[in-house]
Amino acid sequence: MAEFHLETTVNGKSIVKNIDPSMRLLDFLRNVLHLTGTKEGCGEGECGACSVILDGELVDSCLVMAPQAHGKEVITIEGLAESGEIAPYQQAFMEVGAVQCGYCTPGMILAARVLLNNNPKPSKKEITRAISGNMCRCTGYTKIIQGVQTAASLKEAKDQQNVDIEFENLAEMDASRHAAKEGVTRE
Amino acid sequence: MLRKKVLPVNDYTTVGKSVMRIDGLQKTTGETKYAGDIALPGALCLKVLRSKIAHGLVKNIEICEAMKVPGVVQIFTHADVPGINGYGIIVKDQPMLTDKVRFKGDAVALIAAEDEVSAEKAMALIKVTYEELPPLYDVLDAMKEDAPAIHEKGNILGIYKIKKGDAESALQCADVVIARKYTTQRIEHLYIETEAGVAYMDNDMLVIKAGTQNPHYDRRDVARVLGLPLNKVRIMQTPTGGGFGGKLDISVQCFLGLAALKLGRPVRMVYDRETSFIASGKRHPFYIDFTTAADKQGKLVAVKVRIIGDTGAYGSYGPATLNRGAVHATGPYEVPNVDIESYCVYTNNPFSGAMRGFGTPQMAFATESQMDLVANAVGISPVDIRRRNILKEGSLTATQQQLNSSIGIGKTIEAAWEKALQVMPGLGDENK
């Protein structure tokens, strides 16, 4: 079978691979690069669990063929995590309880990231629209919308200070969690 | 005996406080490994051939051509099941690989291959010969005496009755009697993560990691169908991408177990969405015949309810669902005379199991509709009829349980009414 010579950038790293031209971008990310943060939910572009950012746009990676990423830049949830960019989303989603089973979370965060990059102060309606391609079966969306709103203000604060702000709450919560666990052990 | 000092709520580390999910951070970074994310080097891909007919006997399964496909390692059928070929939460009526098909999607053959493409090629080459039987898609047809038996013991899996007082006389003397029929539909859980798992042998221990809500039950059923002692089966629940009751049932576990045990190689199985739809349990469709009787003041005097639940091809949580349907048929209301019967019935539809509420949501739809109709007939508001009948401290339920504490439903109704007045001003004027 003819192979496709794919040159692409994934999470800032340049990738060169010969691949089956009929491979979906989703399978390339999960099976070839082992980036399993991108999930498959429906396999037909309905649920958004497989969302990734392709040249700045949110796409369903189950509907994009891997060769379509040739010469382009792909960002997955692992890319946000590695660059440290994810922290405001983490703090926001955790604080308001927007993470439950977590399966839609990577896609949701990437959808929120694309929105906030283009529109740092979105209205509730704009948030709803931005995440409309990403399904969640646990939260009922209220908490996710709150999470995106909170992330927007955290990002704004971060940008204004133009420094890496310490996410104290995260550290605090982590510490109290450990303390609580130890407490349980002592009982 | 030492007694722990009871601390005020403020002194607990978690009760009454918002706490961070213990696994939340990893879920936001994409680090969390769900069952389908686990990579086992050299793992075989498993696929299941499912029947395209709804009811019939498997006469012959021809696998020779399929076995010739490069990459195919083994194909298993019902003849290869080493233990007792039947699992299920309450009734062990579901075969792992069947020789009698009871719904479109029943598992007939299991293919283990080096990769997905070969597994799918092989699947298309397996020839199954059936002796077709007339399918029963309607519960009322299935309940007829001369209906073909879907299971040996007949099509009625269980009958649950609740009798209290004298409902018949109360119905005859009541001022208001409302009789209606209700139906509810089959519902798919649609968790975002489809069913998935991996399995391998750790010396003589079978280890299965799967997206499940029920690892202990899975262990018992896997041991049973594979003929293994319990202590040779280990089930590990992976972070589960939604369940809502749907992942209480066995999905991939037995298939993974059989292939790993027989082949001695790690195996992996991930359902696509279509398979998930076809093979998983659903919410029970209910057929409800509901009669409610009340006096002139809207005080309930009796209910007579007949419920039929379509449990489909297999029992799963059906008996519990129909039992709960009966127990909750009176809703959160006090009814002195009760005559309830519920039937759990097999059909050749996809099997029905647990889904958020075990039969209670279906009944709530009927019960609350009846309350509105009674209120209308008596000439009082929907809120008032609920106020007059709501369960409170000391009330007796349909099963004669006396409720002695924590009866919050009355407060809930008042709070809901208050909120309704806030968001819909004017509602109170016309409907108080």
DSSP B167-207: HHHHHHH-SEEEEEEEE---B----SSPPEEEEEEETTEEE
Between CA B359 and CA B316 the distance in angstroms is 13
pLDDT at A167 over 80: no
**B405 versus A47: which is more confidently predicted?**
A47
Rounded to 5 degrees, what angle do the CA atoms B292, B293, B295 make? 145
Nearest residue to B220 via CA among B211, B229, B209: B229
Between CA B273 and CA B268 the distance in angstroms is 16
Between CA B379 and CA B382 the distance in angstroms is 9
Tens digit of pLDDT for each residue in A48-104?
A: 999 999 999 999 999 999 999 999 999 999 999 888 889 999 999 999 999 999 999
B191·A180 Cβ contact <8 A:
no
pLDDT at B62 over 80: yes
Tens digit of pLDDT for each residue in B311-325?
A: 999 999 999 999 999
Nearest residue to A93 via CA among A133, A46, A143: A143
Shortest distance between the Cα of B34 and any Cα of chain A, in A, equals 8
DSSP state of B78: G
Question: What band does A176 get if pLDDT is binned at 50, 70 and 90?
Answer: low
Shortest distance between the Cα of B169 and any Cα of chain A, in A, equals 46
Q: What's the pTM value of the predicted model, to 2 decimals?
A: 0.92
Q: Which of B121-125, B315-319, B418-422 has the lowest mean pLDDT?
A: B418-422
Between CA A154 and CA A173 the distance in angstroms is 17
What value does the CA radius of gyration of chain B take, rounded to a whole number of Å?
26
ipTM of the complex, rounded to two decimals: 0.90
- For residue B16, the model assigns a pLDDT of 81
Please name the residue of chain B whose CA is at the shortest distance from the CA of residue A147. B28
Shortest distance between the Cα of B361 and any Cα of chain A, in A, equals 18
Q: Between A39, A81, A95, which is nearest B29 by CB?
A: A81
Shortest distance between the Cα of B367 and any Cα of chain A, in A, equals 25
Chain B residues near any Cβ of chain A (below 8 Å): 13-14, 18-34, 36-37, 39, 189-194, 239-244, 272-273
Mean pLDDT of B205-214: 98
- For residue A84, the model assigns a pLDDT of 84
Q: In B, which residues are within 8 Å of A101 by CB distance?
A: 191-193, 239-243
B241·A102 Cβ contact <8 A:
yes
Between CA B335 and CA A173 the distance in angstroms is 49
pLDDT at B299 over 50: yes
Cβ contacts from A onto B, under 8 A: 108
Between CA B313 and CA B347 the distance in angstroms is 5
* Buried b or exposed e, range B271-309, using 16+ CB within 10 angstroms: bbbebbebbbbbbbbbbbebbbbbeeebbbbbbbbbbbb
First to last CA, chain B: 55
Question: What band does B18 get if pLDDT is binned at 50, 70 and 90?
Answer: confident
Q: In B, which residues are within 8 Å of A47 by CB distance?
A: 192
Q: In A, which residues are within 8 Å of B23 by CB distance?
A: 102
Please state the separation of Cα B2 from the chain's center in Å. 42
Shortest distance between the Cα of A148 and any Cα of chain B, in A, equals 13
The residue behind tokens 């709070």 is: B415
Please name the residue of chain A whose CA is at the shortest distance from the CA of residue B238. A101
Contact of A177 with chain B, judged by CB distance below 8 Å, is answered with yes
Tens digit of pLDDT for each residue in A126-154?
A: 999 999 999 999 999 999 999 999 999 99
Question: What band does B427 get if pLDDT is binned at 50, 70 and 90?
Answer: confident
Q: In B, which residues are within 8 Å of A30 by CB distance?
A: 37
Q: In B, which residues are within 8 Å of A169 by CB distance?
A: none
* Inter-residue contact A67 to A53 (CB < 8 Å): no
DSSP state of B136: -
Shortest distance between the Cα of B354 and any Cα of chain A, in A, equals 16
* Inter-residue contact A97 to B24 (CB < 8 Å): no
Between CA B261 and CA B201 the distance in angstroms is 7
- For residue B161, the model assigns a pLDDT of 98
Q: Enumerate residues 58 to 117 of chain A having a beta carbon within 8 A of any beta carbon in chain B.
A: 76-78, 80-81, 86, 89-90, 93-95, 97, 99-106, 109
- For residue A185, the model assigns a pLDDT of 34
Mean pLDDT of B54-83: 98
B192·A137 Cβ contact <8 A:
yes
pLDDT at A19 over 50: yes
- For residue B210, the model assigns a pLDDT of 98
Q: In B, which residues are within 8 Å of A183 by CB distance?
A: 13
* Buried b or exposed e, range A150-168, using 16+ CB within 10 angstroms: bbbebbeebeeeeeeeebe
Tell me the angle at which helices B360-378 and B318-327 cross, rounded to the nearest 10 degrees.
20
Q: Which of B10-24, B88-102, B206-220 has the lowest mean pLDDT?
A: B10-24
**B17 versus B368: which is more confidently predicted?**
B368
Interface test with B, best of A29, A99, A131, A181 (most B CBs within 10 A): A99
Tens digit of pLDDT for each residue in B333-379?
A: 999 999 999 999 999 999 999 999 999 999 999 999 999 999 999 99
Q: In B, which residues are within 8 Å of A100 by CB distance?
A: 21
* Buried b or exposed e, range A62-96, using 16+ CB within 10 angstroms: bebbbbbbeeebbbbbbbbbeeeebbbbbbbbbbb
Rounded to 5 degrees, what angle do the CA atoms B364, B366, B369 make? 100
Question: What band does B21 get if pLDDT is binned at 50, 70 and 90?
Answer: confident
Interface test with B, best of A22, A44, A137 (most B CBs within 10 A): A137
